[in-house]
Amino acid sequence: MPIAPSTPASALLARRRALSARLSGPALIAAGEAPSRNYPANRYRFRATSHFAYFAGRHLAGSALLFVDGRAELFTHPPDPDDALWHGPRPALAQLRDELEFDAVRPLDELDLALSPHRGSVATLPPQDAASAAWLSLRLGREVERGSGARLTEAVDAALAEAMIALRLVHDEAAIAQLRFAASVSAEAHVAGMRATRVGGSELATLAAMIAVLRASGLDDAYGPIVTTHGEVLHSDRYDHAALAGDLLLADVGGETPEGWAADITRTWPVSGTFTSTQRAIYDVVLAAQHASLAVAKPGRRYRDVHEAAKRAIVEGLARLGIFRGEVDGLLERGAAALFFPHGIGHLLGLDVHDLEDLGDRAGYAPGRTRSPRFGDGYLRLDRELAPGMCVTIEPGFYQVPGILGDPRRTEPLGDDLRRDVLARFADVRGIRIEDDVLITEAGNEVLSALVPKDARAIEQLVGGG
Ligand code: GLY
Ligand code: MN
Ligand code: MN
C-alpha cells in the first residue's frame, strides 16, 4: 500500500516565515486538546486544528504556536516518564525543534510567561469548541469567542484570519503532494466500493470496503462518509438500507492524510451494475454539467461562473428530456436549476474538506461579494477568481427532494413548465452527485481524483466486480 508523503521541515519553515512577514503583532495558534470519553486517558486519535497543522505538520495535542517578532516558537507538553509505558517514547523538545526547524520548542507551562509582555495585543483564530475558547481566553486575558469566524470583532484577530486566508488559499508544492495523495487513495476507495456493491448487499458493506482502502494507506476520514441509496438526502448519515436491484448508490467518501490534508469525492453507481435508461439519462445530464463546470475552472475565472455553467447544463439537459418546457434563460431566471440542484457547485479543499470555512465567508467570498439571497445560489460557498495552486471541488448533482418539489414557493415560478408527468417517469432517480477534486494550474486545471471513472459505461464495468 502506498504511504503518504511527509511535508519537509523546510516547507513548514517557509509557511511560518510567510505568516510572520504578514503579521504586525504577536499571534497564538492553538492545536486544541484530545477529546476523551468516560475517563481522561480514554482518548480518541488527536487531530490538531488545521491552522496549527499547517505550520507544525504534526498533531501535537494541547500545544500552541507563538509568532512574535519574526520568530515562531512551539509550546508543547514535554515527554512524560510514563510515556514509554503507555504511548512509547516521545521526542525530546530539542529533537522536535531540530526536526521541525522551529526557532524554539518550549514546555507548555512557560507559555503564560512568554505571553505576559504582550497581554491584550495577541491575535488568535476562532476556536471550534468551548474548551479551546476557555483556554485561549485565559491565556490571552480577554474573551475569545467560540466559532466566531464570521464576526471576528477584534481587529488583530481579523488581520490574522486574513493572513491565514492569503497563505492557505493557494497551496504550495508540499500541500499539493498531500492533496494528490489523499485524492488518489480516495479514488481507489471508490473503485473498491463499486467492486464490493452487490444486489441484496448493504450500504454498510460498500462503506466497509471503501474505508478499508483508506485505512490501509494510513488515511482517516476527512468527513463523515456518505454511502446511501437515498442520495436525495444530501448529507445522509445512515447506512442501514439494503442495496436493492434498481437502486442507485451514492458514495461521498474522502480520506485525509496523516498530516490532515483532505480529499472529497462522490460517485453514484447502479447497485445492479446497469443503469436503467432513465437513470442513465439523468446521470449523463449531471456528467455533462460537471464537464461544463470543469471547462470554466481556470485561472482568472470566477468560481460563481463554474456554478452557473453547471446550472445551465442541468436545465438544458432536463429540458432536452422534457422535464422542463421553455427556453433555458427564462427557466434559469425562474429558479429551475435549484429545484433539482439546490446546493453550490463546491468549495475550497485543503487541510479541511470545506477549507477555511471556520473563518466564515471572508475566506470563500472576495471582498465586496456576499451570498445570493436566491434559493440554491445562497449555498454557493466560494465566490473568488480562481488562481493556480487553488484546489476546489466540482460537484453538480440532481436530487428529487420531496421538500423542494412539494414546496409551492419553489415550484410556482415554473408553473406548468415543470412537466410533472414527464418527471414521474424518472422516479427511480432519487439522487445523483459527481464530485471531483480539482487543482487549478497555470494551464487550466488538473482533476486530482481522475483515477476513479465517472463515465457510465466504465462505472458499470466495475460494479460488482469482486
Ligand atoms: N462531503 C461534503 C461535501 O461534498 O461538501
Ligand atoms: Mn464537497
Ligand atoms: Mn463530498
pLDDT tens per residue across span 7-25: 999 999 999 999 999 999 9
Asked if residue 441 has pLDDT above 80, the reply is: yes
Pick from 343, 394, 395, 432 the residue to mutate for probing ligand 1's pocket: most ligand atoms within 8 Å of its CB: 395
Residue with the nearest Cα to atom 3 of ligand 1? 264
Asked if residue 464 has pLDDT above 70, the reply is: yes
Query: What Cα–Cα distance (Å) separates residue 284 from each residue in 13, 85, 289, 318, 433?
Result: 46, 57, 8, 10, 11
Cell of 176: 499539493
Check: CB of residue 459 under 8 Å from CB of residue 453.
yes
Pick from 227, 228, 266 the residue to mutate for probing ligand 1's pocket: most ligand atoms within 8 Å of its CB: 266
Q: Which residues, in sequence order, are CB contacts of 346 under 8 Å at separation 6+?
A: 303, 306, 381, 382, 392, 393, 394, 395, 435
The answer to pTM > 0.85 is: yes
pLDDT of residue 444: 98
The C-alpha atoms of residue 349 and residue 396 are separated, in whole angstroms, by 16
Residue with cell 520548542: 105
Check: CB of residue 319 under 8 Å from CB of residue 337.
no
Ligand 1 centre to CA of 403 (Å) is: 20
Name the band, by pLDDT with cuts 50, 70 and 90, for residue 370.
very high
Cα 425 versus chain centre, distance: 34
Q: What is the pLDDT of residues 103-159, one digit of tens each?
A: 999 999 999 999 999 988 999 999 989 999 999 999 999 999 888 676 788 889 999
Residue with cell 481522475: 450
Q: How many C-beta neighbours within 10 Å does residue 17 have?
A: 12
Name the band, by pLDDT with cuts 50, 70 and 90, for residue 42.
confident
The C-alpha atoms of residue 192 and residue 253 are separated, in whole angstroms, by 12
Name the band, by pLDDT with cuts 50, 70 and 90, for residue 424.
very high
- Look at the alpha carbons of 136, 138, 139, 145 in this order and tell me if their dihedral is positive or negative: positive
Sheet order of strands, 226-228 included: 226-228, 248-253, 265-270
Residue with the nearest Cα to atom 4 of ligand 1? 264
Counting residues of the chain whose pLDDT is more than 70, the rounded percentage is 99
Name the band, by pLDDT with cuts 50, 70 and 90, for residue 289.
very high
Pick from 253, 256, 264, 290 the residue to mutate for probing ligand 1's pocket: most ligand atoms within 8 Å of its CB: 264
Ranking 116-125, 319-328, 375-384, 438-447 by mean pLDDT, the lowest is 116-125
Instruction: Tell which residue, 253, 101, 105, has the closest CA to residue 190.
Output: 253
Q: How many C-beta neighbours within 10 Å does residue 35 have?
A: 14
For residues 326-330, give the mean pLDDT. 98
pLDDT of residue 89: 87
Domains of the chain, each with CATH number or no CATH: 9-168 (3.40.350.10), 173-462 (3.90.230.10)
For 265-418, where are the E strands, in sequence order?
A: 265-270, 391-394, 397-399
For residues 246-254, give the mean pLDDT. 98
Instruction: Tell which residue, 288, 276, 273, has the closest CA to residue 318.
Output: 288
The C-alpha atoms of residue 127 and residue 148 are separated, in whole angstroms, by 8
Check: CB of residue 173 under 8 Å from CB of residue 11.
yes
Asked if residue 466 has pLDDT above 90, the reply is: no
Atom of ligand 1 nearest to the CA of 226: 1
Angle between helices 155-168 and 9-22 (to 10 degrees): 140
Name the band, by pLDDT with cuts 50, 70 and 90, for residue 264.
very high
| pLDDT, averaged across the chain | 96
Query: What Cα–Cα distance (Å) separates residue 365 from each residue in 44, 154, 165, 339, 387?
Result: 34, 20, 11, 24, 14
Q: What is the pLDDT of residues 56-87, one digit of tens each?
A: 999 999 999 999 999 999 999 999 888 888 88
The C-alpha atoms of residue 221 and residue 57 are separated, in whole angstroms, by 18
pLDDT of residue 148: 66
The C-alpha atoms of residue 263 and residue 257 are separated, in whole angstroms, by 9
pLDDT of residue 54: 98
End-to-end CA distance of the chain: 19
* Residue list, ligand 1 pocket, CB within 6 Å: 223, 252, 264, 347, 353, 395, 435
Cell of 410: 419553489
Q: Which residues, in sequence order, are CB contacts of 300 under 8 Å at separation 6+?
A: 385, 386, 387
Asked if residue 256 has pLDDT above 80, the reply is: yes
Query: What Cα–Cα distance (Å) separates residue 276 from each residue in 222, 270, 287?
Result: 32, 8, 16
pLDDT of residue 300: 98
Residue with cell 516521545: 90
Asked if residue 34 has pLDDT above 90, the reply is: no
Asked if residue 94 has pLDDT above 90, the reply is: yes
Cell of 162: 486574513
